[in-house]
């Protein structure tokens, strides 16, 4: 029970942070200072970019008004977030799945693997979070990994991988986000 309470509290704090970040700044000096601090801290929130890729690394976009990359974080090749400094980072992704709009036989099921990986500056890759699930005929639902906190090194590359991209619903609610905790 304590575990679920902790997860719920982390989710609420993360959602409050994301909603505060996406809100328009006002003229108040307190909120302007908060907005300035958030733009200086390493933080990123990206939206799903639909492609014809079948498997592998998911592509993201920062063209929407609610997606951004700040604080020296680098967004590379529409796939990778490169961290500007070592520290504790919250990492999360959310993907909406849909088998209503694709030609999937009613007797078929797909094993889907959704994961967030990190490659350190030495080239070592590890999985931060992953979930495997069965996707069946005429289903529509979302999967979320995180937010979870990890200590990550400067220059590490964080990315999301999934098989069977054709089952991703190109929803604006698909996201990939990272936020560094202040030192």
Q: What domains are defined for the chain?
A: 2-180 (2.60.120.40)
15-19, 50-54, 144-148: least confident range = 15-19
Q: What is the DSSP string of 17-67?
A: HHHHHHSPP-S-HHHHHHHHHHHHS-EEEEEE---S--SEEPPEE--STT-
H helices present in 109-183, as ranges: none
Q: State the distance between the two ends of the chain, measured CA to CA, in whole angstroms.
A: 30
> In this predicted model, what pLDDT tens digit does every residue of 124-142 receive, in sequence order?
999 999 999 999 988 888 9
Q: Give the number of other Cβ atoms within 10 Å of residue 140's Cβ.
A: 13
Q: Which residues contact 43 (CB under 8 A, 6 or more apart)?
A: 21, 68, 69, 70, 71, 73, 177, 178, 179, 180
Place of tokens 């993907």: 95
Token pair recorded at residue 101: 């709009």
Q: Which of 57-66, 100-109, 173-182 has the highest mean pLDDT?
A: 173-182
- Is 121 or 24 the better-scoring residue by pLDDT? 121
Give the model confidence (pLDDT) of 47-60 as tens digits: 998 887 788 999 99
Q: Is the pLDDT of residue 33 over 80?
A: no
């Amino acid at each position: 029970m304590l575990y679920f309470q902790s997860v719920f509290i982390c989710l609420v704090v993360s959602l409050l942070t994301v909603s505060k970040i996406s809100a328009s700044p006002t003229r108040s000096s307190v909120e302007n200072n908060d907005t300035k601090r958030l733009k200086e801290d390493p933080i990123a929130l990206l939206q799903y970019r639909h492609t014809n890729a079948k498997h592998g690394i998911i592509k993201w976009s920062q063209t929407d008004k609610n997606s951004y990359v700040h604080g020296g974080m680098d967004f590379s090749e529409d796939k990778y977030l490169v961290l500007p400094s070592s520290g504790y980072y919250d990492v999360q992704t959310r993907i909406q799945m849909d088998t209503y709009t694709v030609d999937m036989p009613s007797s078929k099921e797909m094993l889907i693997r959704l994961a967030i990986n990190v490659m350190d500056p030495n080239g070592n890759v590890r999985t931060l979070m992953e979930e495997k699930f069965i996707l069946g005929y005429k289903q529509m639902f979302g999967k979320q990994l995180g937010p979870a906190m990890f200590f990550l090194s400067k220059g590490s590359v964080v990315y999301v991988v999934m098989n069977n991209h054709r089952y991703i619903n190109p929803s604006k609610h698909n996201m990939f986000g990272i936020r560094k905790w202040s030192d």
